[in-house]
Amino acid sequence: MTDDLAKLTTEGNNSGTRSIDESSTEQILSMLNDEDSKVPAAVAAEIPSIALAVEALSKSLSSGGRMHYIGAGTSGRLGVLDASECPPTFGVDPQLVQGHIAGGDIALRMAVEGCEDDGEAGRALVDQLGITSNDAVVGISASGTAAFVIEALQRARELGAVTISVVNNRHTRLEQVSDICIAPVVGPEAIAGSTRLKAGTAQKLVLNMLTTSTMIKLGKTYNNLMVDLKASNKKLYNRSLRIIMAAAEVEEQVAARYLKEADMDCKLAIMMIKSKLGPAEAAAALEACNGNLKQAIRICNQAI
């Protein structure tokens, strides 16, 4: 055992849960819930760093770059999960936000031992992805010691990409290769070293904040509505109708008619209603504003 690992907060022994194996079911659940309740405050303390990351991400993506999550184990799975939710939520190309895990896709379903220690594989992944100075790479590691993630971020940095780390310890090797470090320190886990618990929860909250805030800044919402979704199934069709009704203040029948005319494009339907333009003209107005619906509506209304 190395001194570096022994000193990690995420490897510590939680004095509050030492009798957890002798506790009743309700007591176990209360202990876990008490520990989980510490997570939001730890994330809130990192909002200044998260804000820096969002500014960097929105700059990269608006300039034609991509966002890549790279992690191992639980951290890698959370990155893949967050990336996979961006296309259906915000209507973006699946290549815009990508998630990668040490050990490849098989590691999403089962542990692949030793892959997080393979730094060369991390560097090779970055080269394989064709990372450039336009891109942003987010390395996720609870301990901040996963060689796969560290070397991937180091290689991305060498290529000029923005590097961001999400860790649960201070002053880690991962932080040293990051332009921006987000480090919600949640303390020792209820089960010592099990970072799928509080550390994983903190990471999930941070990743949600990174992509959601970035997409808002890129104009992927109208007020708090996810207007860039495509009505590709019954649930999303009904959600699209509700969004159009709320944003454009129209009845369901009108919303359905415009959604059909817009080829199931929720944002375009709203633009058509608000601007009184046809599909082609409304689409062109949106394109001229880089897809920002609110901006496009304001410009059209000023021109009337």
Question: Which pLDDT tens digit goes with each residue over 112-144?
Answer: 878 999 999 999 999 999 999 999 999 999 999
Tell me: do 173 and 250 sit in the same domain: no
Q: Are 122 and 57 within 8 A, CB to CB?
A: no
Tell me: do 35 and 60 sit in the same domain: yes
Question: What's the CATH number where 99 sits?
Answer: 3.40.50.10490
Handedness of CA 154, 158, 159, 161 (dihedral sign): positive
- pTM of the entire structure? 0.93
* Residues 171-200, mean pLDDT to the nearest whole number: 96
Residue type, 254: V
Tell me: do 71 and 207 sit in the same domain: yes
Q: Please say if the pLDDT value at position 269 is more than 70.
A: yes
Tell me: do 211 and 269 sit in the same domain: no
Q: How many domains does the chain have?
A: 2
Tell me: do 206 and 243 sit in the same domain: no
Q: Are 147 and 118 within 8 A, CB to CB?
A: yes
- Give residue 1's pLDDT band: very low, low, confident or very high (50, 70, 90): very low
pLDDT, tens digit (0-9, with 9 covering 90-100), for 258-267: 999 999 999 9
Rounded mean pLDDT of the chain? Answer: 95
| Local structure of 162: helix, strand or coil | strand
pLDDT of residue 6: 66
- Give residue 302's pLDDT band: very low, low, confident or very high (50, 70, 90): confident
Phi-psi region of 128 (alpha: psi -120 to 50; beta: other; left: phi over 0): alpha
Domain membership of residue 145 (yes or no) is yes
For residue 44, the tally of other CB atoms under 10 A from its CB is 11
Tell me: do 141 and 193 sit in the same domain: yes
pLDDT of residue 231: 78
Give the Cα-Cα-Cα angle 110, 112, 114 (nearest 5 degrees). 155
Tell me: do 79 and 176 sit in the same domain: yes
What is the domain extent for residue 12?
Answer: 3-217
Proportion of the chain above pLDDT 70, given as a percent:
98
Active site residues: 85, 116
Tell me: do 58 and 143 sit in the same domain: yes
Question: What's the CATH number where 243 sits?
Answer: 1.10.8.1080
pLDDT of residue 173: 96
pLDDT, tens digit (0-9, with 9 covering 90-100), for 166-176: 999 999 999 99
Tell me: do 174 and 256 sit in the same domain: no
Q: Are 117 and 152 within 8 A, CB to CB?
A: no
Domain membership of residue 223 (yes or no) is no
Domain membership of residue 222 (yes or no) is no
Domain membership of residue 224 (yes or no) is no
Given 191, 217, 243, the domain boundary residue is 217
Q: Please say if the pLDDT value at position 44 is more than 90.
A: yes
Tell me: do 194 and 240 sit in the same domain: no
Domain membership of residue 254 (yes or no) is yes
pLDDT, tens digit (0-9, with 9 covering 90-100), for 73-93: 999 999 999 999 999 899 999
Tell me: do 69 and 194 sit in the same domain: yes
pLDDT of residue 301: 80
